Amino acid sequence: MTHEKTSAYGALFVAILLEIAGTTCLQKSEQFTKLAPTLAMAGFYLGAFYFLSIVLKTIPVGLAYAIWSGLGIVLISCVGVFVFRHKLDAPAVIGLGLIVVGVVIINVFSKASVH
C-alpha cells in the first residue's frame, strides 16, 4: 500500500471516529436542548467532514462514503449498545455483519479504491 493510500485510510478512520463522536453527542444533546453536547456535536461533525475532504483526494467519493457510512453504522450501533443500553435483535446483528462483509469486500477485492 502506498504512503498516500495509507494516509487516506488513516484520515478516513479519523473521520469515522469524529462522526461517531458527533452522533453520540447528537443523542446526548436531547434535540439541541443541551448546549455543551450540541456544540461538541457541531465540532465533531465539522472535523469529520474536514478529514473526509482529505480522503477524497485519494479515494473516490462513492467508495469513501460506503466505507465511512458502513463502518459508522456498525460502530454507532456498538455505542448504542454499550453507552445507551440499546438492544439489538438477531436480524440487526446479521445486517450489521453483512455491512462489515461489504466493507471488507470493497477494501480487499475492489480495484476502484484509488484514483
Asked if residue 115 belongs to a domain, the reply is no
Take residue 2 and report the three cell numbers written for it. Answer: 502506498
Q: What pTM did the predictor assign?
A: 0.89
Asked if residue 72 belongs to a domain, the reply is yes
- Over the stretch 23-34, which tens digit does the pLDDT of each residue have? 999 999 999 999
Range 107-112 contact pairs with CB under 8 angstroms and sequence separation of 24 or more: 107/67, 110/63, 112/60, 112/63
Domain span at 24? 3-109
User: DSSP letter string over 67-83?
Assistant: HHHHHHHHHHHHHHHHT
pLDDT recorded at residue 80 = 96
- Over the stretch 48-106, which tens digit does the pLDDT of each residue have? 999 999 999 999 998 999 999 999 999 999 999 999 999 999 999 999 999 999 999 98
Say which DSSP state 34 is in. Answer: S
- Over the stretch 6-20, which tens digit does the pLDDT of each residue have? 999 999 999 999 999
Asked if residue 114 belongs to a domain, the reply is no
Query: Total structural domains in the chain?
Result: 1
pLDDT recorded at residue 111 = 79
